[in-house]
Chain A
Amino acid sequence: MKNIVIKKGHDIRMSGLPTNNSISDFHSSSVSLLPNQFRGVKPKLMVSEGDKVKVGQALFFDKTKPDVKWPSPANGFVKEIKFGPRRVIEKIEIAIEGKETLKHGTLSKEQIKSSNKDTILGHILNANLFPLIRQRPFNKVADPNCDPRDIFISGYNSAPLAVDIHPILERNKEAFQLGLTALSKLTSGEVFLTLKEAIDFEDVQVQTIAGPHPSGNVGIQIHHIKPLKPNEVIWTMNAQHVITLGRLFESGIYDPKIIVSIGGSGADKPDFAKALMGTKIESFLDNQSSNKPVRIISGDVLTGHTVERHDFIGFYDSSITIIDDKVDRPFLGMLSPGSSKTKYSLTNTFLTLTNTFFNFTTSQNGEKRAMVPINAWEKVLPMDILPNPLYRAILAQDVEEMEQLGIWECDDEDFALCSFACPSKIDVGKVIRDGLDLLEQEG
C-alpha cells in the first residue's frame, strides 16, 4: 500500500457544511435522466411518453455504442420527453408510481472470480448500468469494447461540502467489495482504490492520499499513481456507484439510491439526504427557505451546473450546493484592507488571518483581464503540468504542443481551483475542456 501526500491545492473553507450524522430520506414525485449531459453520446429513445417503466428498464441507448443503455431510476410512467433545438433530447421525466424493479441474476464473489470478462461485462450491460463507468481521457461514458489499462476509484471526496464517502463505504463494505471484484474482471490491468483512511479490500490496490483538494479528484490520483499516456484508456467510477454495481451482483437489482449532501451559504439547514439518482431539485429544498436570492448548483461549487427548482440532479452528482446570489458593491473595495468576514483569498492581499468559514456569494470579485502570471494557478495544481504554457497552447489551438504539455492527463475538474484562484478571473477549466474537445476532434 502506498501513501500519497499532496501539498499543492486548497480546501475552501465554505460555510454551510452539513454537520448532522443523520441522513434524511427524500421523496420525489418524479425523477429524470438528462441525455444531453453525457458527453459524446448520441441518444436514441427506447420509450415514449406515457409508457410504463420499471426501475432499471432502459430509457435510451447510445447510437454510437448500442450496447450502452441508461436505466430508469424509478418505477412509473414516462411523464414527459422534452426536446430542445434540433430535436436534442433534453429530458426524460418519469412520474413515480409503485416499486417494481427489473430483476437480474445474482453472482457471488466466488462466481465473479471464476467468470471471464465477457460474462461480467454482459451482466452490467444487460442491467443497463454501464453508463456509471466513465473513461479518461475526456471524462466521458466508457466504451465497453475497449480494454482499459487500469480502473481507478476515488474513495475520497475532497470537493467543498462534499459527502464523506468513508462511512458510506464502511456501512456497505460487502456490496462495495463485490463491485470492486467485478471491476477487476473488466481490465487486464489493476483496479486502484484511493482512500483517505485505509480500509482493507480484496482484488484491488488500495492507496491512501492526504492533502487538500483536489487530492480526492480521480484525475489527480491517476497522475500520482500511474499517469495516463497518449492512446491509453482508463476507466473510472464514483465510489457510490461501485456500491450500486455491487448491489446488482448481490441482489440482482438496480438500487438507484445514493447519499447526497445539501449545503452552502444559501442553505438554511445543511443536510444529507438519501435520494434517487435524477431526483427533482425541488424535493431537496423542502427544508430550505426560499426567500433570499440563491443560486442552486447540481454538483459541487467548483464544477457543478446551475439548476432551477424544477430541474433534476445530474447523473454523476452527489451534492446540491446553494449559495447566495446577492452581490454587494463595497465603496473603494480595492483599497479596503478587508477582513475574514468580507474577503476570502489564497493570497495575503487582504487581512484575512482567521480560519473561519466564509459565506461565499456568486460574485466574480473582479473583472476579466488578460493573464498576469503571479503563480496563482501553479499553487493549486498538484500535477507535474505547466498550466500557463498549456493554457496558451490551447488558445493557439496547437494540438501537438498541447499533447506534449500533457493534456491527455488533464480534465477540467482538476483545473477548477485554478479558475477559483485566478486574479484575472480566467476560467481555466473551460479552456482545458476546449482543448480536450479539440484533441478529440483531431482524433
Chain B
Amino acid sequence: MKWLRNLLDQIAPHFEKDGKLEKFGPVFEATDTIFFSTDERTESGPHIRDSIDIKRVMILVVIALIPCYIFGAINVGYQKSLTFGYQATWMENLSTGAIAIIPIIVVTFMSGAFWELLFGIVRKHPISEGFLVTCALIPLTLPPSIPLWQVAVATSFGIVIGKEIFGGVGMNIFNPALMARAFLYFTYPVDISGDKVWALAPDGYSGPTALSIAAGQKNADAVGLLNDASSDLVFDYSWVNMFFGWIPGSIGETNKIIIILGATFLILVGITSWRVMAGSVLGLFAMGYLMNLFSPYSSNAMLSIPPHYHLVMGSFLFGTVFMATEPVTGAHTDTGRWIFGFLVGVLTVIIRSINPAYPEGIMLAILLMNAFAPLIDYFIVQSNIKKRMVRYAQ
C-alpha cells in the first residue's frame, strides 16, 4: 500500500493551509485517515494515549450490523418466495435479497456522504465517522420494497436535521438514523406505517404484520389471533419463527438471534451500555405484564399480547440494541441509562397497545426518550450535587 501512501503524501500540500484546495481539507483528512491511522501526536501530558478512537468505535458498530444485513438479504429473498409461492435455495434467496438491498445501501451512503462532506467543507469541521453508523443503520430500518428516492430524502433529513444543524456527531439531540425513519413514517404513512407487510410481493398483495393482526381487534386473544393468521397466511407468526426472523419486516429487524449476538459483541468490546438494553427489556416485560393484567377489563386485543411476544414482535430488539444505546442521544449517567432504557421499553408497549394507529412503538419511544434524556441526567446530577451539599454543610 506504499503507492497509496505516496500518492496521499504527494497531494497533501494542496489541501493544507493556503493550498489550492484548502477548502476540501476535511475531505482529504477523512480519506487520509480512513486508509492510514493518523500520525497526530500528543501535545502535552498525557503524552501517551489509549489506542481506541471514535473511528474504531464506529466501525465496530458497523461490523456488528453486518450479520443483520446478510440475514436480512436471505430473509427478503425467502419472503419473496413465500408471497410468489415458489421454492428457492438459500443462495437464490440471498441473491434476490442482495439485489433488492444493495441499491438501498448505496443510495443511503451516497446521500449521507454528500451531506456530511458538504457540511464538513462549509462548516469547516472534520468529517465525522459517525455518519458511517447512521448510514449503516438506515437501510436496516427500511422495508425492502421502499422506493429509492424516499431513501435519499429520508437519509438527507436524518443527516441534516437530525445531526448537522446541531453541529455534528456529539452534539445531536435525536438519533439521526431514527430521525430518517420517523421522517418516512410521517410523510409517507401509506407506504411505511407498518400495518401491511413489507415484502417483495406480487402487485396488490397485502397481508397484516404480526403487530397489526391484533391491533383494532376487539375481545380476542392476541396469541390466538397470531396462530389463526399463521394458518391462513403464508407467513408463520409463531413465537419461535418470529424469534428466528423468518417473517416479513424491515431488512434488519427480523432475526432476534443475530441482534442478540450483535448486542453481546458490542457489550464485550465495551462500547455500548448494557444498562440501556437491560433496562429496556425490563421495561418491556414490566409494562407488557401490566397490560396483560388489564386485558380482561378491556376489549383491546393488543393488551393480551404476552411480554415475551412483545420481545420478538416488530423491531423492539433492533431498536433497543442499536438505536437506544446510541451514547450521545441517550442518558449520559449510568443510573440515567437504566431509567432511559426502562422507559423506552415501557413506552414501546404503551404505544403498541393503547394506540393502534401506530403499530410499532419502539421508534417513537426512543425519539421521545431522546428528548427526555437530558432531563433524566439533570435529576441524577442534582442528586449527586445534593449529596455533596449535605457533606459540605456538615
Contacts and interface: CB of A to CB of B under 8 A. Distances in A.
A341 to B, nearest CB: 11
A371 interface: yes
B270 A348 contact: yes
Contacts of A386: 333, 380-381, 384
A374 B33 CA distance: 22
Interface string A351-390: 0100000001111111101111111101000001010110
Nearest to B382: A404
B121 to A, nearest CB: 17
Contacts of B18: none
B42 A366 contact: no
A420 B49 contact: yes
Contact of A302 (B40, B46, B55, B271): B46
A144 interface: no
Interface residues of A, number: 73
B128 A369 contact: yes
B1 A404 contact: no
B384 A329 contact: no
- Residue of A346, A423, A430 with most chain B CB atoms under a 10 A cut-off: A423
B38 A366 contact: yes
B55 A366 contact: yes
Main secondary structure of the interface of B (DSSP, over half): loop
Interface stretch (A74-82, A92-100, A109-117, A320-328): A320-328
A295 B46 CA distance: 12
B268 A348 contact: yes
Contacts of A338: 51
Nearest to B169: A370
B298 to A, nearest CB: 41
B119 to A, nearest CB: 14
Contacts of B385: 404-405
B391 interface: yes
Interface in B1-56: 1, 4-5, 29, 33-56
B46 A303 contact: yes
B269 interface: yes
B269 A349 contact: yes
A229 B389 CA distance: 9
B169 A423 contact: no
B51 A335 contact: no
Contact of A297 (B36, B47, B167): B47
Contacts of A439: none
A323 B345 CA distance: 49
Contacts of B4: 331
B50 A388 contact: no
A424 interface: yes
Nearest to B51: A343
10 contacts: A302-B47, A329-B36, A334-B59, A349-B57, A349-B269, A363-B41, A370-B171, A386-B333, A404-B388, A423-B54
Interface of B: 1, 4-5, 29, 33-57, 59-60, 126, 128, 167-171, 268-273, 327-328, 332-334, 377, 380-381, 384-385, 387-389, 391-392
The 3 closest A-B pairs by CB, nearest first: A366-B53, A370-B170, A333-B37
Given A423-B53, A429-B46, 8 more contacts: A329-B39, A331-B4, A333-B37, A349-B269, A362-B47, A374-B327, A376-B52, A430-B44
